[in-house]
Amino acid sequence: MKFAITPCPNDTFSYFHLISGELPSDFEFVFEDIETLNMAAESGKFPVTKLSFAAYMNLRDKYELLDAGAALGIGTGPVLITRKDCLFDASSPVAVPGLNTTAAMLLKSYAGTGIKMEAMFFRDIVEAVASGRFSSGVLIHEGRFVFEDFGLALAADLGKWWTEKTGLPVPLGCICVRRDFSHLKKDLEGLMCKSIAAAFASPDKCMPYVREKAQYLAEDILQKHIWAFVNEYSLDISPFREKLLKNLEI
């Protein structure tokens, strides 16, 4: 069974014990960036897949949300950045890591639905803003922790803004099962919980593989990324799932 995730630290850390085979499963792991996975899900390409929460909201006819495996930030998430000599201009196009991402959804909620967005590969956004191609952009993954090193400034922490507005953690990514495999939901959640728990128990064991797949290799950046988005919510979102989804519909 193909299980599609991103190569980013929170995913490789969470599922290392399944990827390595230390926890036996029938998974064949596939690695793609999040917007590629969002778009692939429109045709139901992968039986089990990581999705942006925003994309899942439009794909509920094809996929069922799992209660395990979600990446939720506790008052942290995508950041809106500009060059240090610029103020955020809502009339200018903003570089975003995909129009189907939670990052794009948060930007629209923050700046208004009329905001102009241009999608690009998430790893290219820092350079696009630093070079002046765009006056602002939204960063996800490790990029949100290193933008100041590239002469960029924070215009808004969209994750913090969401939590202050809703009182909820930031719904970034989730794991979903295609509905023709939904009878496996509990088994899949059990395997993912075991893998995440094993990673929590022996984090150093996961790190060589995490570094192999990561965009930025600095140990402190990897650690910040993992602990920002792999947390208690990664094991079970059921207590507040409905409230979270209701807020996403607004």
Question: What's the pTM?
Answer: 0.90
Average pLDDT for residues 98-115, to the nearest whole number?
93
- pLDDT of amino acid 53: 95
- pLDDT of amino acid 75: 78
Distance CA(45)–CA(37), nearest Å, equals 9
Q: Does the pLDDT value for residue 84 go beyond 90?
A: no
DSSP 231: S
Average pLDDT for residues 220-238, to the nearest whole number?
88
**What percentage of the chain has pLDDT greater than the value 70?**
98
Q: Which of 17, 141, 183, 225 is catalytic?
A: 141
Q: Does the pLDDT value for residue 140 go beyond 90?
A: no
- pLDDT of amino acid 249: 80
Q: Does the pLDDT value for residue 141 go beyond 90?
A: no
Bridge partner list, 110 = none
Neighbours of 10 (CB within 10 A): 25
| Phi, psi dihedrals of residue 77, rounded to the nearest 5° | 180, -150
**141 a catalytic residue:** yes
What is the CA angle 190-248-192, rounded to 5? 10
The string of pLDDT tens digits covering residues 181-221 is 999 999 999 999 999 999 999 999 999 999 999 866 677 77
Q: How is 7-61 classified by DSSP, letter by letter?
A: SSHHHHHHTHHHHSSSS--S-EEEE--HHHHHHHGGGT--SEEEEEHHHHHT-TT
The string of pLDDT tens digits covering residues 39-67 is 999 999 999 999 999 999 999 999 999 99
Distance CA(143)–CA(106), nearest Å, equals 17
Q: How confident is the model at residue 31 (pLDDT cuts 50, 70, 90)?
A: very high
Average pLDDT for residues 124-140, to the nearest whole number?
93
- pLDDT of amino acid 217: 65
Q: How confident is the model at residue 117 (pLDDT cuts 50, 70, 90)?
A: very high
